[in-house]
Amino acid sequence: MKSFISEFKKFIARGNVMDMAVGIIIGAAFTKIVNSLVADVIMPPISLLLGNIDFTNWFIVLRDGAETAAPYASLEAAKAAGAVTMNLGFFINSIISFLIVAFAIFIIIKAINKMKEEPAPAPAAPTTKKCPYCFSEIDIKATKCPHCTSDIK
């Protein structure tokens, strides 16, 4: 049992496990921000453009509640009556939240990959040159062309 606990402590103390834990915590906080962005900033103007549709109250009643029959003024009223609903508005908000999170992660990963990229190696110094008389390739250190026997400066 002690070796199991010892092994577990080593596992937890590893850097990548701690990094993963920090990433999950930051991801949860980021998700709250994105959900607020969608619900409080993006969806109200979209709702206005579409004729004051409140997406959080966009639902379909699958079965009436035991206390009150449809129609219901809001999703809360339907739930309070015990109705079974399909909550399309929440689904649309979730899709928009997912797209924003995915785009943000894409941008972050792209930036990280750009930082990791190694610069292109400098071009190698030339080892040959052209003879100015016969235009043959010759060694860069040559002082006489081996093809036309001209003196090269």
Q: Which domain holds residue 141?
A: 123-153
**CATH classification of the domain holding 37:** 1.10.1200.120
Residue 137 confidence (pLDDT) above 90? yes
d(CA 79, CA 70): 11
Confidence (pTM): 0.52
What is the radius of gyration, based on Cα positions, of the chain? 34
The structural domain count of the chain equals 2
Residue 51 sits in the same domain as residue 114: yes
Task: Give the pLDDT confidence of 66-94 residue by residue, as tens digits.
Answer: 777 778 888 888 888 888 888 888 888 78
Residue 94 sits in the same domain as residue 131: no
Residue 36 sits in the same domain as residue 90: yes
Residue 55 confidence (pLDDT) above 90? no
Of the candidates 88, 99, 81, the one whose C-alpha atom is nearest the C-alpha of residue 35 is 99
d(CA 100, CA 37): 9
d(CA 113, CA 107): 10
Mean pLDDT of the region 35-49: 81
**CB-based burial, 51-70: b 16+ in 10 Å, e otherwise:** eeeebbbbbebeebbeeeee
